[in-house]
């Protein structure tokens, strides 16, 4: 066995396991809310961050104790993000929730991806679910949040299968 062959084996053993480990364990997080959150009604389209207090995160980008609405990017690149918001209308029968929305925001400043949810007048505590999904180019340290806009009437998030949740995973650099 020659020196070149030994060097090749050493190089292979030094580089391939980390590459394979990364490809099998790309950064991702699946976060959800386990305690209902009451979002105050507003007529100014004020956005409110959604608390995500449970979940799985293999890159350490989410802290459920501090800034629990955020996922902080640990590896720059293109990410696929999906957010879900399940919510109920007010407890009064016949009230309408004109237009509420869910947006995915980066660094609390720009609403990159959003969708609206409209409730018509109906029974008390009726509800619905809305999802938003898309791709975001993130830099190291950028943080992603879900924001709700409860227009006019307060809403309460659900803690069943419609609970607020965010799934984020790295796609490429």
Closest CA to 135 of 113, 153, 154: 113
Check residue 118 and give its pLDDT: 67
Q: Is residue 51 part of a domain?
A: yes
Q: What CATH number did the domain enclosing 163 receive? A: 2.60.120.40
The whole-number pLDDT of residue 152 equals 56
Three-point CA angle 100, 104, 110, nearest 5°: 100
Q: From CA 87, how far away is CA 130, in angstroms rounded?
A: 9
Whether 5 maps to a domain, the answer reads no
Facing residues of 117 across strands? 100
pTM for the model stands at: 0.76
95 within domain boundaries: yes
What's the pLDDT score for residue 12? 67
| Residue 21 belongs to some domain of the structure | no
Residue 124 belongs to a domain: yes
Domain count, the chain: 1
Residue 143 covered by a domain: yes
Residue 120 burial by CB count (10 A; 0-12/13-18/19+): exposed, middle or buried?
exposed
Distance CA 1, CA 48 (A): 66
Residue 16 lies in a domain: no
The CA angle 125-145-163, to the nearest 5 degrees, is 30
The pLDDT tens digits along the chain (173 residues) read 455 555 566 776 676 666 666 667 788 899 988 887 877 766 555 667 788 888 899 999 998 888 888 999 999 999 999 998 876 665 555 555 566 778 899 998 766 787 777 666 666 666 677 889 999 999 999 999 988 877 655 666 766 667 788 999 999 88
Q: How far apart are CA 71 and CA 106, in angstroms?
A: 10
pLDDT, position 47: 67
Q: E-assigned strands of 44-94?
A: 48-49, 54-57, 70-72, 77-88
Domain that holds residue 155: 26-172
pLDDT of residue 97: 58
Q: Is residue 3 part of a domain?
A: no
DSSP 75: S
Cα–Cα dist 76/160, whole Å = 33
- CA pair distance 134, 49, nearest whole angstrom: 18
Give pLDDT, residue 125.
62
């Amino acid at each position: 066995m020659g020196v070149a062959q030994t060097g090749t084996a050493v190089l292979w053993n030094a580089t391939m396991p980390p590459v394979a480990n990364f490809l099998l364990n790309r950064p991702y997080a699946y976060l959800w809310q386990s305690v209902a959150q009451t979002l105050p009604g507003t007529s100014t389209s004020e956005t409110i961050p959604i608390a995500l207090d449970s979940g799985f995160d293999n890159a350490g980008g989410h802290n459920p104790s501090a800034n629990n609405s955020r996922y902080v990017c640990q590896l720059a690149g293109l990410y696929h993000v999906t957010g879900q918001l399940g919510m109920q209308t007010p407890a009064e029968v016949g009230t309408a929730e004109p237009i509420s929305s869910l947006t995915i925001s980066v660094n609390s400043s720009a609403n990159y991806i959003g969708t609206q949810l409209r409730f018509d007048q109906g029974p008390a505590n009726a509800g619905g679910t809305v999802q938003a999904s898309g791709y975001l180019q993130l830099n190291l340290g950028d943080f992603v949040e879900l924001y709700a806009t409860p227009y006019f009437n307060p809403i309460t998030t659900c803690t069943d299968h419609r609970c607020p949740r965010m799934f984020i995973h790295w796609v490429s650099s």
